[in-house]
Structure 1
């Protein structure tokens, strides 16, 4: 028969969990005490507002760059689909994913997505391989932008970079199956 109630092991586990929560909460403090005693003063408020506006400009700039990379990639997909219609079955869902990434990365209030079509490689297999390489470059670009991105944008960029890597893999496999 199993013992019911609070056991010593259960009590120690709960105490350890509470202590770990307290330690982690303490590690998450921002250290906002750096104002040199100016906390609450007009000078500190002005500096904070300036920092916020600079962060917003930086985030908008990062988003525009990321959207540019993704829009270029979307243009390459559109071009390959227009030039090699036989690839449509495999490329259409991937293109739709790239379009969704571009919309997610776009700054709020941004205009519609514009992209430039480029000339794809000669054969369908080479065109799909070129798309795989473009996806790898996009993943690298989004990953590099993580260093300067605020936390929320960094999470989005990391997700899009991971998706671009996965799409690159899928395109590489699709290129192997595509007739020359």
Structure 2
């Protein structure tokens, strides 16, 4: 008999402890405030991750744009050929950039030879395409579509710079 009383009493204490943890008038007592604040925290984390990913993608595209500018300055004869590609890179940066302006990007000086400078630009465009493609894995759907589009355009730039008309 004594064992039954202890078991029943222990069960009652455990049930009371569980009910106390579930009841009350604090945040989350009705199940909505706790889940709402958890959902808000999750949304903030997702927004922060997207902003970081977008910032990284903007820096990558900004570096390609800076390379176009450096090549154009070093080789004025290439200006007409790379002008549409540079304009597209500027639009990519605009689409990816956060509302504030990204910090300026330093790039190595382009090669002295025009053909080598074009190869460097093609390599930079290929690396940019690869970076945007890799970022797709962590991007939310809307940003993923933008990154895929920019990656495809950068791949086309690489092709045009390496396979297009001679320098």
TM over 0.5: yes
Kindly tell me: are residues 160 and 40 of structure 1, through their superposed partners in 2, closer, same or farther at Cα, counting changes over 3 Å? farther
Q: Once the 2 structures are TM-superposed, how far is the Cα of residue 89 of structure 1 from its aligned partner?
A: 1.1
Structure of greater Rg: 2
**Which aligned pairs between 1:85-104 and structure 2 lie closer than 5 A?**
85-104=76-95
Unaligned runs of 5+ in 2: 1-28
List, as ranges, runs of 4+ consecutive aligned residues in structure 1 with deviation greater than 3 Å: none
Q: Once the 2 structures are TM-superposed, how far is the Cα of residue 40 of structure 1 from its aligned partner?
A: 5.9
Residues 1:82 and 2:57 aligned together: no
Q: TM-score, normalised by structure 2?
A: 0.78
Residues 1:152 and 2:142 aligned together: yes
What is the distance in 2 between the residues matched to 1:92 and 1:115? 19
CA contact (8 A) 2:59 2:102 kept: no
Q: Matched residue of 1:177: which SS?
A: coil
* Residue among 105, 112, 132 paired with 1:142: 132
What is the distance in 2 between the residues matched to 1:95 and 1:74? 6
Match of 1:65 in 2: 56
Q: TM-score, normalised by structure 1?
A: 0.73
CA contact (8 A) 1:80 1:127 kept: yes
What is the distance in 2 between the residues matched to 1:165 and 1:142? 10
Match of 2:118 in 1: 128
What is the distance in 2 between the residues matched to 1:40 and 1:64? 36
Question: What root-mean-square deviation, in Å, do the aligned CA atoms of Structure 1 and Structure 2 show?
Answer: 1.7
Q: Once the 2 structures are TM-superposed, how far is the Cα of residue 41 of structure 1 from its aligned partner?
A: 1.4
Q: Once the 2 structures are TM-superposed, how far is the Cα of residue 113 of structure 1 from its aligned partner?
A: 6.3
What is the distance in 2 between the residues matched to 1:82 and 1:39? 65
